[in-house]
Amino acid sequence: MCNGGKKDYYAILRKSMVNSQIKARGVTDKRVLKVLEKVPRHLFVPDDLQSEAYNDYPLPIGEGQTISQPYIVARMTELAELKGDEKVLEIGTGSGYQAAILSLLCKEVYSIEIIESLAKSAEKRLKELNYKNVFVRHGDGYLGWTEVAPFDVILITCAPPYLPDSLIRQLKVGGRIVVPMGKEYETQILTVFLKKNGELIKTEYEPVRFVPMKGKIEQSK
Ligand code: SAH
């Protein structure tokens, strides 16, 4: 197959992924659906798994970590309610796929990854694919990114047992945090916190399964 053919092939797989996995489960935000159809997810997974990139499950990306199932990426992105001019903090860069999706829907994405090799490879990949408004840092997301705070949206793609105060402080009033909250795999719930006049309003959505958020958070409570 020539390159053009292969490109079209993946575009067809993406369209079908959006229809059968994402629209079918109730994601309606047109901007989100469009971006899921655009970002080449197969370039964010290891070479030997490219043919599975558009299937309905998470995939390993090395270091015992995974790229989330496409539907979950879409669902979390929809809950972020991005309009285009936001500054977003992502915790858990992983492959960089979620960051790439966000980058097409907001102004800037700052993404923190605790495993150095993943941070480096995601940064390289995002640069090669020309996602110019994504900034990756190797570090502990528990601390946030003080130099560029505050953020309009914080999206956490690993599961913390509680919401770190540091991240609440780095969220603008009127901003939102989208996070799989939970101590154990079995009890994680996709949750949105809205910051309003000094209080956080919590809304819980469906159960999810993410790798635990590690780092300083484990030692502190
Ligand atoms: N968003 C990623 C998938 C995330 S998997 C993607 O699109 O591919 C969860 C990631 O969170 C893992 O890479 C894990 O190393 C990272 N992680 C776990 N605890 C963290 C912490 N305290 N700070 C930053 N990253 C963390």
CA of residue 114 to ligand 1 center, whole Å: 7
211 Cα nearest atom in ligand 1: 9
Pick the closest to residue 153 from 176, 134, 132 (CA basis).
Answer: 176
* pLDDT > 80? residue 90: yes
CA of residue 214 to ligand 1 center, whole Å: 9
Amino acid at 219: Q
Percentage of the residues of the chain whose pLDDT score is greater than 70: 96
Count the residues in the chain: 221
Q: pLDDT at position 219, please?
A: 53
Task: Respond yes or no: is residue 68 known to be catalytic.
Answer: yes
Tell me which of 16, 20, 68, 166 is the catalytic residue.
Answer: 68
CA of residue 45 to ligand 1 center, whole Å: 15
How confident is the prediction for the chain on average, in pLDDT?
94
Average pLDDT over residues 38-51: 97
* pLDDT > 90? residue 88: yes
* Per-residue CA distances from 77 to 28, 121, 156, 190 (Å): 11, 23, 11, 12
Distance CA 46, CA 38 (A): 19
**Residues framing ligand 1 (Cβ under 6 A):** 65-68, 91-92, 94-95, 97-98, 112-115, 118, 140-142, 157-158, 211, 213-215
With bands split at pLDDT 50, 70 and 90, how would you rate the model's confidence at 186? Answer: confident
Which tens digits make up the pLDDT trace of 53-74? 999 999 999 999 999 999 999 9
Q: pLDDT at position 3, please?
A: 56
What tokens were used for 47? 């070479």
